[in-house]
Amino acid sequence: MKNITKHILGVSALLALASQPVHAHRFWIIPSASVLSGDNQWVTVDAAISNSLFFADHVAAPLAALTVTGPDGSPVEIQNGKEGKVRTTFDIELTKPGSYRIATIREGLAASWKEGEETKRWRGPVKDFAAAGLKGKPELKVFENLSRTETVVTSGAPSTDALKPTGKGLELVIGKNHPNDLVAGEKASFILHLNGKPAANCKVTVVKGDDRYRDAVGEIEVTTDAAGVFEVSWAEAGRYWLNATVEGEGGEIEGVPFSRRASYTATFEVLPG
C-alpha cells in the first residue's frame, strides 16, 4: 500500500511539472556518450528534471518509467539503476551494433475547478476520471497530457529500427539526418509527427547545454513546415536540449470537454567537425 501511494504521488508530481510554463523545468536524459565504437560498450545514463542543462538541480526522473529499445526493436535491460534525490542513473550494455532509444513517456489527465475562491486540482490516469466525479464542477478544465522524453545512442553505424514512430503523441521522425550523426557547422533536418501525422507549424526550441555558465539562454527557435520538417544549424559542438509542445482540442471524456497537450523533448550531442 505504501508503494502504491508513493507511485501515485510520483506521477502527480510529474504532471504538475508538465502543466507549469514550458521553461520552468526541463526533463532530460543524457548518455555518457552517444557515438561509440567497439563491441559491448557500456553507456551510463543520467535522467533528471532540472532548471539548468545538464545539471541535476531539481528532481530525479522516475527510474521505473524509463525504457531502452535496442537496434532490433527489442527491449534492453536497465542495469545498476538508482533513483537519487535529484538524478536517476543507470547503465546499458550495447551488445548489438546500431542505434538505441532511451525514453520515458508521461501521460494522464489533469483537471482543475473552483470550489468557492479555491482552485482544486486532480491528476490521474484516464481510467480514473469517471470515479473522480468531477463532472459538473464549476469552471472545470481538463487536460490530457502526453510527454515523450528521449535520447539516442549508437554503437557503430547509425540505424533507425529503434526510432520508428509509434503514432502516438508528438514524436521525432528521422528524415535526412540521424540524431547520432550531428556535426558542428552543419544543418540537420528532422520531422515532427503528432499522432502519426506531420505536425505543421509547430515551434521547436533548442538550447545548448551548460547554460549555467552563461548569462543568455541562447534559445534557437524554429518552426516546422507543412510537412512537419524543421531544420537546426549547429553552430557549436556540445549537448543540446530540444523541446516542442502542442496544445489543441481533445474531445470529450465522460461528457466533459478536454484539451490535449503533447510534448516531445530530446537531448542530442553535436560533435566537432
Partner 1 sequence: MKKLAFLLIPCFAAAARGGEISLTIEIPRLEVAEYHRPYIAAWIEKPDGTVAANLVVWYDSELKDKEGETWLKDIRQWWRKGGRELKMPVDAVSGPTKPVGTHTVTIPKKAVDLPALAEGEYRLNVEAAREVGGRELVKVPFKWDGKTAVEAAGQGKTELGKVQIAVKAEAAK
Residues at the interface with partner 1 (CB under 8 A): 35-39, 41, 156-158, 181, 183, 271-273
SS3 130: helix
Eight-state DSSP code of residue 126 = G
In the complex with partner 1, the residue whose CB is nearer, 183 or 217, is 183
Q: How many CB atoms lie within 10 A of CB 190?
A: 23
- Residue 201 burial class via C-beta count within 10 angstroms: exposed 0-12, middle 13-18, buried 19 and up: exposed
In the complex with partner 1, the residue whose CB is nearer, 24 or 183, is 183
SS3 55: coil
In the complex with partner 1, the residue whose CB is nearer, 51 or 189, is 189
Minimum distance between the CB of residue 35 and partner 1, rounded to whole angstroms? Answer: 5
SS3 162: helix
In the complex with partner 1, the residue whose CB is nearer, 144 or 269, is 269
The grid coordinates of residue 258 equal 478536454
C-alpha distances out from residue 179 to 16, 35, 131, Å: 29, 10, 43
Polymer length in residues for the chain: 273
| Residues facing residue 176 across a β-bridge | none
In the complex with partner 1, the residue whose CB is nearer, 59 or 270, is 270
Minimum distance between the CB of residue 157 and partner 1, rounded to whole angstroms? Answer: 5
Measure the CA–CA gap between 29 and 37, rounded to whole angstroms. 21
Measure the CA–CA gap between 225 and 17, rounded to whole angstroms. 29
Minimum distance between the CB of residue 239 and partner 1, rounded to whole angstroms? Answer: 16
In the complex with partner 1, the residue whose CB is nearer, 100 or 122, is 100
